[in-house]
Structure 1
Amino acid sequence: MKTHYKTIVVSDVHLGTKGSKAKEIARFLKQYRCENLILNGDIIDGWQLKKSGSWKRKHTRFFNRILKMIENHNTNVFYLRGNHDDFLEQILPLQIGRLHIQTDMIYDSQGKKYFITHGDVFDSITTNLRWIAYLGDIGYTFLLWMNRVVNFYRFKAGLPYFSLSQYVKGKVKSAVSYVDDFESELAKMARSKGCEGIICGHIHKAENRMIDGIHYLNSGDWVETMSALAEDHEGNWQLIYYNEIDFKGIQLDEQSIGSSEEVESSVIPLRKVSFELPKDDLTPPHFRL
């Protein structure tokens, strides 16, 4: 089981909301190591914090985990702005050591270029009619509340988890059509940027597929699906779902690795070389649409 990756991408954590799975993503990041961590938007939900949201200790622990990844494993962290954390616009771009806060970026994966953006810039409702976007956010928040109520009773009845919000979105034709249009438009945007792939979030629908010759990747979210994208050192991408992770197996693997490292400690240790961006890419290009 792989626990070391070149790059991990997560998005739509929505810290500050009741639906955020802050404990789960912190546990997830504790089990995996990567050279690059890309936080692709809506990590902090500024919209909800302005209204009825609240900041919990578990939300702070998420960022503590990020800082430990930087300090202990020299992880490069890229925090890209989303629509719910658009307050970051006031400080963009910003770099503090290995932490980069920016609008978007172009990422090189084994010679293939991927345009990475949260995805809200392609949502004309969010961009042009902000008040409608806020109404949609209220409706979605209500669905997530109903989701918790339904699953509380399902749990008492011994039934498995059921995502009511995902079910409703899958039954609404306009929502299904929106997702299809969203994915197609992002694929077109990647091509216009001279890239072979696109990595996004925003719509809370994890995906890994080809669209008209463009590799479309969506990291999903940490409100419903609890998913992330991971790239190995050969340039292969995969989706990882929290509910499918064998945490006991990972711990056993880590223990075996730890014991083997203790045996090899008598040999002169070799310094591990971490991933570094080429000099030309130290300041990735930013695109404002």
Structure 2
Amino acid sequence: MQSRYRSVFISDVHLGTKACQAKHLLDFLQHIETEHLYLVGDIIDLQAMRNKAYFIDTHHAVVEQVLAMAKSGTEVTYIPGNHDAFFRQFAGQTLSGVKIELHARHQTADGRHFYVSHGDEFDQMVKISPLMLAIGDKAHGLMLSLNQWINGARRFLGLPYWSLAGYVKSHIGKAKDFIARFETAALKSAKSHKLDGYICGHIHFASFQLKEQTLYCNDGDWVEHCTALTESASGELSLLHWSENPKILATEPKPEEWELVPNYSR
């Protein structure tokens, strides 16, 4: 599998929690080379750590690996999300070689321009009642706990990683409707910024959606799916899963023709 990329986007790592798949992420980061690494929010789960921190050696190793990559020449950009919003106060600063920004604009090798943000700014646009949100949070937490037990058993049986929460999201109507509304909000935002697409995380569901030559890219997460968004040297975007059996999940949908522009303003 390819190990050199022009750009890599990861989000929703949730370091500091038991759900974090730090071992898989560390293995991924140690096996790749990239010019640009975007940390697209919820990298360290400061919210969860207020109640109970679970920052084991592999979590420290992930942080050390990112800093080592920054030191060795990778341009690392950290865009805080809602779980690590504390770091937003440092936007515009560079700490240990890592640039902290509220959002970014990324130009691919083939000249397209993408807005990059965590995605929690769409929470108010994607309508969901406080009660359903609370129920969803508890159910999601339960699924993550079950996910650890299930994958512990699968490892014992020699089976590869599998995401329970990912399966549920793909098969329950209300979850699918929520994801669709989120994707629509991101696509509208990209068009309002007059850009070719939007790259985000937040909802823990990696996917591509192409509508009216505007491309939505969600890089997924590292608690359920172990996914990253990658850009090749030619500018092609792909979704990659990395665990015991790394594989390419999808490559970006191909429109008949992209409208390429020389700068961000159109």
TM-score normalised by L of structure 1: 0.77
Q: Structure 2: which 5+ runs fail to align?
A: 248-262
State the distance in 2 between where 1:52 and 1:198 align. 34
* 1:12 and 2:36 correspond: no
Corresponding residue SS for 2:224: coil
Whether the 8 Å contact between 1:13 and 1:222 is mirrored in structure 2 is yes
Using the TM superposition, give the Cα deviation of residue 91 of structure 1 relative to its aligned residue in structure 2, in angstroms: 2.2
Whether the 8 Å contact between 1:190 and 1:196 is mirrored in structure 2 is yes
Residue of structure 1 equivalent to 2:74: 75
State the distance in 1 between where 2:132 and 2:88 align. 21
**Deviation by residue 1:174-194 (Cα, 9 ceiling, x = unmatched):** 211000010111011001001
State the distance in 1 between where 2:132 and 2:89 align. 23
State the distance in 2 between where 1:51 and 1:126 align. 28
When structure 1 is superposed on structure 2, of 156-165 and 218-227 the one drifting more is 156-165
Residue of structure 2 equivalent to 1:142: 142
Residue of structure 1 equivalent to 2:124: 124
Using the TM superposition, give the Cα deviation of residue 169 of structure 1 relative to its aligned residue in structure 2, in angstroms: 2.5
State the distance in 2 between where 1:25 and 1:46 align. 19
When structure 1 is superposed on structure 2, of 207-216 and 80-89 the one drifting more is 207-216
**Deviation by residue 1:85-104 (Cα, 9 ceiling, x = unmatched):** 11112322322464111111
Residues 154, 98 of structure 1: alpha-carbon distance in 2 compared, 3 angstrom cutoff: closer
Q: Structure 1: which 5+ runs fail to align?
A: 247-280, 285-289
Residue of structure 2 equivalent to 1:114: 114
Corresponding residue SS for 2:107: strand
The one-letter code sitting in structure 1 at the alignment partner of 2:164 is L
The one-letter code sitting in structure 1 at the alignment partner of 2:56 is K
The one-letter code sitting in structure 2 at the alignment partner of 1:14 is H
State the distance in 2 between where 1:102 and 1:129 align. 30
Corresponding residue SS for 1:187: helix
Greater fraction helix: 1
Residues 102, 141 of structure 1: alpha-carbon distance in 2 compared, 3 angstrom cutoff: same
Residue of structure 2 equivalent to 1:84: 83
Q: CA RMSD in A?
A: 2.7
Using the TM superposition, give the Cα deviation of residue 133 of structure 1 relative to its aligned residue in structure 2, in angstroms: 5.2
The one-letter code sitting in structure 1 at the alignment partner of 2:139 is G
Residue of structure 2 equivalent to 1:255: none
Using the TM superposition, give the Cα deviation of residue 136 of structure 1 relative to its aligned residue in structure 2, in angstroms: 3.8
State the distance in 2 between where 1:112 and 1:2 align. 22
Residue of structure 2 equivalent to 1:179: 179
The one-letter code sitting in structure 1 at the alignment partner of 2:193 is K
Using the TM superposition, give the Cα deviation of residue 168 of structure 1 relative to its aligned residue in structure 2, in angstroms: 2.5
Residue of structure 2 equivalent to 1:245: 246
Residues 97, 194 of structure 1: alpha-carbon distance in 2 compared, 3 angstrom cutoff: farther
Residues 168, 67 of structure 1: alpha-carbon distance in 2 compared, 3 angstrom cutoff: same
Corresponding residue SS for 1:199: strand
Structure possessing the higher radius of gyration over alpha carbons: 1
TM-score normalised by L of structure 2: 0.83
Whether the 8 Å contact between 2:228 and 2:239 is mirrored in structure 1 is yes
* Matched ranges for 1:17-96 at <5 A: 17-72=17-72, 74-96=73-95
Using the TM superposition, give the Cα deviation of residue 44 of structure 1 relative to its aligned residue in structure 2, in angstroms: 0.6
Identity %: 33
Whether the 8 Å contact between 2:122 and 2:186 is mirrored in structure 1 is yes
Corresponding residue SS for 2:47: helix
State the distance in 1 between where 2:44 and 2:135 align. 19
State the distance in 2 between where 1:23 and 1:48 align. 19
Whether the 8 Å contact between 2:67 and 2:98 is mirrored in structure 1 is no
Residues 156, 32 of structure 1: alpha-carbon distance in 2 compared, 3 angstrom cutoff: closer
Using the TM superposition, give the Cα deviation of residue 13 of structure 1 relative to its aligned residue in structure 2, in angstroms: 0.5
Residues 153, 185 of structure 1: alpha-carbon distance in 2 compared, 3 angstrom cutoff: same
Corresponding residue SS for 1:124: coil
